[in-house]
Amino acid sequence: MIFGADKQQQMTLDEQGLTSLGAPVHEDIVDQERENIAETSARIRHSNRTFTLILFLLISISLLVVMFVGVSSYKSLVASRAENQQTRLITTLLATNVRMGDEANAVQVGKGPEGEALVLVERTSAGTYETRFYLYNGYIVQEYAVAGSNYQPGGATQLAQSKHFSFQLEGNLVKITTDSGTTQVALRSSQNASDVEGGA
């Protein structure tokens, strides 16, 4: 009987020992799982942050590209409008000067350094003067000088860039052509289209 009691007690102790040994093993597994879950969550959060950062960079780059293209297009549009406005302005300026000099035989043909010059003769009590318009080094220039004097293109005023400048005097109608097109001015005074003497 004593032997049986000892054996039963030993079995009870063994069961208790297995239970006590099993508890730490179970807690280690739980802790390991928690660590794995925490690491997985950290990786997911890191991946999300990385994705968000990349997405933000892509959006920022796209916005910068759109802004750059927009600014470039706007600058090109402004430059084109300014150029068109300048070319229209020169024809308007020439036409206005011709109208202001609308006197008998005031519109003459001169000999500029690169072709014909549109000469507007002004006769005053102090003498006769000329306002000359002609092409020089890719610009339409204006020169005010004493009638018959030599042309001085280096001192002339540049009005606008133009590869072409010509004019025709048909009766009382003046046709002026530049890169921007042709404009016509009808004069009230009679013109004889005579050439004006002047050195180049």
pLDDT tens track of the chain, all 200 residues? 444 555 555 555 455 554 444 445 567 777 777 777 777 777 777 777 888 888 888 898 988 888 888 887 777 776 656 666 666 778 888 888 999 888 888 899 999 999 999 999 999 899 999 999 999 999 999 999 999 999 999 999 999 888 889 998 888 899 999 887 888 898 888 776 554 445 44
Task: Give me the pLDDT at residue 143, please.
Answer: 96
The Cα–Cα gap between 133 and 162 comes to: 12
Task: Give me the pLDDT at residue 32, please.
Answer: 77
Pairing relation of β-strands 115-124 and 127-136? antiparallel
The Cα–Cα gap between 177 and 94 comes to: 10
Is the distance from CB of 141 to CB of 65 less than 8 angstroms?
no
Task: Give me the pLDDT at residue 22, please.
Answer: 46
Task: Give me the pLDDT at residue 196, please.
Answer: 47
In degrees, to the nearest 5, what angle opens at C-alpha 81 toward C-alphas 76 and 84?
125
Can you give the residue ranges of every domain in the chain?
90-186
Q: What separation in angstroms does the CA of 40 have from each of 36, 49, 181? A: 6, 14, 74
